[in-house]
Amino acid sequence: MAEDPPGVPPTVASFEAGLDELEKVVKELEAGDLPLERSLELFARGTQLSENCRRQLEDAETRVESLVRKNGAWQTEPFRPEK
């Protein structure tokens, strides 16, 4: 696994790890009493994590297939969530 460049927060290996880190960032921000610079760092990291999780969810949605029985045979078709 390649290392992240200096000054760039580490990438997250999984959706679950990203979500867990995002929750920790939010809790730290909500606790308050942080110096402005730390608050800005956390906000930037939270934004990055949120975007990463959103992209992972979108990618997963495009890969999900549901099995459908048509004319007596099982076929796959793209997942289309009801809106």
Extract the tokens encoding 13.
């290996």
**CB atoms inside a 10 Å sphere around CB 19:** 17
Q: Which fold has domain 15-78?
A: Helix Hairpins (1.10.287)
- On the question of pLDDT at 25 being above 60, the answer is yes
Give the integer Cα–Cα distance in Å for 45 and 36.
Answer: 14
Query: What average pLDDT does this structure show over 28-40?
Result: 95
Place 36 in a pLDDT band, splitting at 50, 70 and 90.
very high
CA 30 to centroid of chain Cα atoms: 20
- On the question of pLDDT at 7 being above 60, the answer is no
Place 58 in a pLDDT band, splitting at 50, 70 and 90.
confident
Residue 67, classed as helix, strand or coil, is strand
- On the question of pLDDT at 76 being above 60, the answer is yes
Query: What average pLDDT does this structure show over 8-30?
Result: 86
